[in-house]
Amino acid sequence: MKEGKKRGVERTQIATRNESWSDDRLKLFLEIEPPSGVPVDYNILLKAYRGMTENLFERFIKIFIEAGKDVNCKQVDGSTFLDLVSKHRKSEAYAKILQTAGASSTKS
């Protein structure tokens, strides 16, 4: 028997707070495969940015760079990941983490 469509709170994923993330868990993001046409490093950064708090993202960026990944990877249009992050409200901390790690923007 098929359930009816869930609505509102019923379909919302429960938020987790104060969850412990080991370095091994952070390293799992390095294994994420991108969809067709998306650069591997760009996709990894995107998934990490969307799924991590500022503190976790800062820890992850160090692991990302140590693994030989590129914080200045570009999309087909030439835009960098920092360009994307800089467009978002409340993303200043993430942008600063990227800049500290050597990321640059193609925008003036």
Contact (CB, 8 A) for 101 and 65: yes
Distance CA 13, CA 22 (A): 22
Helix axes 40-51, 54-66, angle to 10 degrees: 160
| pTM score above 0.85 | no
* Residue 1 confidence (pLDDT): 46
CB 93 within 8 A of CB 61: no
In the chain, DSSP finds a helix count (H) and a strand count (E) of 5, 0
Region 50-62 average pLDDT: 95
Mean of pLDDT values over 1-18:
63
pLDDT of 10 > 90? The answer is no
